[in-house]
A and B are shown apart, each in its own frame.
Chain A
Amino acid sequence: MNVFLQLIKITGSSVEPSLDEKKRSKIFGVVMGILVTLLIFIPVITIVGFMVYALTNGLATLGSRDSVSAGLSLMLHIVALFSVVFGFSVVMSVFYFSSDLEYLLPLPISPMKIIGAKLASTMITENVMECLLVFGALLGFMIGYGFDPPSGGGLNAVSFIAGIIGLLTFPVVPICYCAAICLVVMYFSRFFKNKDRVSRLTAFSSIAVLLVLVLALNLSGGFDTNRFVEQLINNDIGLVKVLDKVFINVPLLSKAMAGSFVSLLLYILVNAASVAVVLFLASKLYLKTVIALGSCEGTAKAAETEKDYERLFKESSQLMAYFKKEMKILVRTPAYVTNCFGINLIWPVFIYLFVVLQKRSNILGSYIEKLRYGDSEVVLYATLLVFGTSVILTALNCLASSAITREGKHFEVMKYMPVPIMTQLNAKALVSIVVSGAGLVVYIVTAFAILGIDFRFIIFSVLLSLLSVIFSTYLGIYIDSMNPKLIWEDEVNALRGNYHVFYNMALEIILTAVVCAASIGLFKLDFLPVVIIQTLILGLAGVLSLEFYNLCKKKGVENIKKIEM
């Protein structure tokens, strides 16, 4: 058991900041920690909690003890689905691409223990965000159920115990799914040449599955709360039925929350069983798959090399060379593909959901109509939406806020290459600007064009979006330059274990909130006409771009020069 704990520490070590890092950024860390809590954690808990509360309340007045937890189940299913989709790349890289394997595998430790430890550390990493969602959902349920219980029900001791156990163990089943799929896929893909390709493919198919599932919600008729609650009571939603079978832990936990002791026992059993299955699979498959890994990746193609001398020895500028290098590494690293690029594909799904959800009331329709005719209030909202989305999306894909952290052990190369540090930062910025900007421009232009909005507003939006992406990018890079986390075992940890991603997000959210509040205030108080406010926002984005660029150029470069590994 001692070995096991030690292993968890090793495999998870990259998640914790080192003692030195801790000291250097203590005050900063505390301040940011508070901000992060206020700005990200509390809203997340509140939103999720409220949704579950509303559903539970509806169910409690209409339904029976059996169906009252259907709302909770729905939310937990969504959380579980996301855990699988995002957990996949984490598990894959922790199991197969982590650099500690080189040292762990030769040791006389059974594969079961290695996987057990890796599984545990993955769950700990994954747990932070998930805990919030689960906590919000459970809390919402308890409030909704506790204050207004249906006949024959009500919170009891079992509910509270189930709540605590559920909070701690919820990721177990989803992560075990990821682990089992990983092990099996890797086993059968032993014969393929390129393991990276396999893992990338699988990651993308899991995103595709999510897309299909969302589409399968089939809310095209529009969302009507009453009908939805009715469907929930009668267990009449196809997707939920399927999910109840896939994540058996979810209905069990929900029923336990509603006070069923038997369900609680079954829930614990299911968790234990899923871990047992993964460990069993690991003992049979892991070593066979992991050992073949390094050697399989791409075999030399001697014949092609001859031609490639010509093709590849094309000169480019330092900036472009560095940019191409960054892009190649990003595109070829599964963890970066899903977390940095994949996220750009995920959030249109939310827009789709939003559009579908409001279809019945059709608020959006009237807004769009107003936007077409240039109603000044709606134009302002649209402007702020473009601004906020651009800033937050750039923060969300963390290309900027992990720009230096991603260098990891190669950080030295930044120092000995005869390339000015600022050129290197610009190349990194370019990556973020191109990826985030391209996505946004495509979305903005298509969406607004389809809606038939004035082309001048489209051009304005594109310009505003790009400027917002630019300043958000340089801010992210600057934050990362203050104290990059250069020691990590696998790429996922460069993103997940990296607090800068959160700090950056918090700052960008504050900034967006301030800009929105100020603009709306100015407008409502009739101080300024909309055109002027729009110009001001555009100007602000321009000024901030310049300011943050200069901040990187002066302070950022200095920070990097100071870092010694």
Chain B
Amino acid sequence: MIEFKAVSKTYNGKVKALDNMNFTVGDGELVGFIGPNGSGKTTTIKLLSGVLTPDKGTIKVNGFDVGKEPLKAKASIGYIADNPDVFLRLKGIEFLNFIGDVYKTPADERRKTVEDLAERFELAGALNSPIISYSHGMRQKLMVIAALMHKPKVWILDEPMTGLDPKSSFELKALMREHTKQGNSVFFSTHVLEVAEKLCDRVVIIKKGHKLYDGTLAELEKRNKDKNLEDIFLELTGKK
């Protein structure tokens, strides 16, 4: 469960990145967050994960206020940032173990998740090498495994498909769906329309820090009968 209420965020007191943003993601819901570059997606996601603090508004994750009970809120999030280059000097397995300790995941649970997912992502052979030797896609997959070890109630991903090969991208989408099936919330940003179209229960469309649309894509299409999704999207976000 994610509740984002009347949130505004300004950078350096000048750049207004988010203006009175509202949305919710329910339990068992998979929501896509769509918008052109620079529209405020990463800002929103960083506010959710506690990396940034909002100027105004309240953000709740799994019922915990991110500002008031940050540790509980953060513990219930699995977060995948837009850049997977962290702690490059650690080996893959060491990073996973570190994250396991940090999120207080029992050892056998870590093991189960890692064995299962490393197999699915074909990463098992690389886990004993330093992350610096991984490709972008491999790093991204490592982050996915790390984020899922503690079975987060809320899974947040920032542009997760970037750099993934078709098989990995397929596996990731399947994982997102499985995770929602288990009653968790999944919220991910993308600027690629097709991804959202196939995957999401609902989409939130954002432009220049304002919410433009919140609902299913089917309904959006119904409202604009004679146009295809891409045209609608371009129109909404003012590129046409």
Partner of B127, one of A305, A332, A413: A305
Residues from chain B with a CB closer than 8 A to the CB of A564 are: 11, 51-53
Q: Are the CB atoms of B111 and A309 closer together than 8 Å?
A: yes
Interchain CA distance A416-B100 in the complex, whole Å: 14
Chain A nearest Cβ from B145, distance in angstroms: 13
Question: Which stretch of B89-97, B174-182, B224-232 is in the interface?
Answer: B89-97
**A328-B89, A410-B86, A564-B53 are known contacts. Are A297 and B133 too (CB-CB below 8 A)?**
yes
Interface size class of A (residues with CB under 8 A): 35 or more
Is B107 located at the chain interface by the 8 A CB criterion?
Answer: yes
Is A420 located at the chain interface by the 8 A CB criterion?
Answer: yes
Interchain CA distance A301-B91 in the complex, whole Å: 12
Is B26 located at the chain interface by the 8 A CB criterion?
Answer: no
Chain A 256-309 interface residues, beta-carbon cutoff 8 Å to B: 294-295, 297-302, 304-305, 308-309
Partner of A328, one of B51, B72, B94, B104: B94
**A300-B128, A332-B89, A416-B79 are known contacts. Are A321 and B98 too (CB-CB below 8 A)?**
yes
**A313-B107, A322-B102, A418-B102 are known contacts. Are A412 and B127 too (CB-CB below 8 A)?**
no
Is B36 located at the chain interface by the 8 A CB criterion?
Answer: no
Residues from chain A with a CB closer than 8 A to the CB of B133 are: 294-295, 297-300
Chain B nearest Cβ from A425, distance in angstroms: 15
Residues from chain B with a CB closer than 8 A to the CB of A321 are: 97-98, 101-102
Determine the residue in chain A with the shortest Cβ distance to B133. A297
Chain B nearest Cβ from A439, distance in angstroms: 23
Partner of B85, one of A314, A320, A409, A416: A409
Chain B 82-130 interface residues, beta-carbon cutoff 8 Å to A: 83, 85-87, 89-90, 93-94, 97-98, 100-104, 106-108, 110-111, 114-115, 124-130
Chain A nearest Cβ from B71, distance in angstroms: 5
Is A151 located at the chain interface by the 8 A CB criterion?
Answer: no
Interchain CA distance A132-B115 in the complex, whole Å: 57
Residues from chain A with a CB closer than 8 A to the CB of B12 are: 20
Q: Are the CB atoms of A418 and B74 closer together than 8 Å?
A: yes
Residues from chain A with a CB closer than 8 A to the CB of B44 are: none
Residues from chain B with a CB closer than 8 A to the CB of A322 are: 98, 102
Q: Are the CB atoms of B115 and A313 closer together than 8 Å?
A: no
A308-324 vs B: 1/0 string, CB under 8 Å? 11001111111011101
Partner of A412, one of B81, B106, B110, B125: B81
Interface size class of B (residues with CB under 8 A): 35 or more
Q: Are the CB atoms of A410 and B101 closer together than 8 Å?
A: no
Is B217 located at the chain interface by the 8 A CB criterion?
Answer: no
Partner of A329, one of B71, B89, B125: B89
Determine the residue in chain A with the shortest Cβ distance to B156. A416
Interchain CA distance A353-B130 in the complex, whole Å: 41
Is B50 located at the chain interface by the 8 A CB criterion?
Answer: yes
Q: Are the CB atoms of A312 and B94 closer together than 8 Å?
A: yes
Residues from chain A with a CB closer than 8 A to the CB of B97 are: 312-314, 321
Interchain CA distance A417-B72 in the complex, whole Å: 11
Is B59 located at the chain interface by the 8 A CB criterion?
Answer: no
Chain B nearest Cβ from A323, distance in angstroms: 10
Residues from chain A with a CB closer than 8 A to the CB of B71 are: 418-420
Q: Which of A301, A316, A332, A412 neighbours the largest number of chain B CB atoms within 10 Å of its CB? A: A412
Interchain CA distance A413-B101 in the complex, whole Å: 14
Determine the residue in chain A with the shortest Cβ distance to B105. A315
Q: Are the CB atoms of A294 and B132 closer together than 8 Å?
A: yes
Q: Which of B11, B108, B130 neighbours the largest number of chain A CB atoms within 10 Å of its CB? A: B130
**A305-B93, A325-B90 are known contacts. Are A418 and B75 too (CB-CB below 8 A)?**
yes
Q: Are the CB atoms of A318 and B107 closer together than 8 Å?
A: no
Residues from chain A with a CB closer than 8 A to the CB of B98 are: 321-322, 324-325
Q: Are the CB atoms of B50 and A415 closer together than 8 Å?
A: yes
A371-404 vs B: 1/0 string, CB under 8 Å? 0000000000000000000000000000000000
Interchain CA distance A328-B49 in the complex, whole Å: 26
- Can you spell out 12 A-B residue pairs with CB atoms less than 8 angstroms apart? A302-B128, A308-B128, A313-B97, A314-B97, A329-B89, A332-B130, A412-B46, A417-B102, A418-B70, A418-B102, A419-B71, A561-B53
Chain B interfacial positions (CB closer than 8 Å to A): 11-12, 46, 49-53, 70-72, 74-75, 77, 79, 81, 83, 85-87, 89-90, 93-94, 97-98, 100-104, 106-108, 110-111, 114-115, 124-130, 132-133
Chain A interfacial positions (CB closer than 8 Å to B): 20, 294-295, 297-302, 304-305, 308-309, 312-318, 320-322, 324-325, 328-329, 332-333, 409-410, 412-413, 415-420, 561, 564
